[in-house]
Amino acid sequence: MSVSIDAESHLTVVQMLAQNLQGTMVEPILVRALPNYHVYLEFSDGPKGEVDLSDLAGKGVFEAWNDYAFFEKVHIGDHREIKWNDEIELCADSLYLKLTGKTPEELFPKLRREQPHA
């Protein structure tokens, strides 16, 4: 079975899906570099605070942070990522989990597995 849809309706459906998805995602709204490779973060659902990234500093691509002026260039990317440049970025969700102490299943309820019934 084939269903055709005009361009305007397609755009409306895509926008509705995007809004629905956007509504379920926690958005970083502020990031700021702090001393000792910490960042201050604020998220759209309220949590805010400091995350320690010092365990990454000086390792692999994070050697760039040895220039602390570079570390201070942290910003929110176009796709919610916390980034410094096109090579160094961190997932906002992982930083949210680290900040709040929540589990992935709490942030993404669909990850919960149903227990089989005996």
| pLDDT score for 21 | 45
The matching CATH number, chosen from 3.40.50.10880, 3.30.2020.10, 3.40.50.300, 3.40.630.30, for 26-102 is 3.30.2020.10
SS3 state of residue 60: helix
Rg (CA), the chain: 19
| pLDDT score for 14 | 43
| pLDDT score for 104 | 85
Q: Domain locations in the chain?
A: 26-102
pLDDT digits (tens, 9 = 90+) for 40-81: 999 999 999 999 999 999 999 999 999 999 999 999 999 999
| pLDDT score for 17 | 41
CA–CA gap between residue 82 and residue 71 (Å, rounded): 12
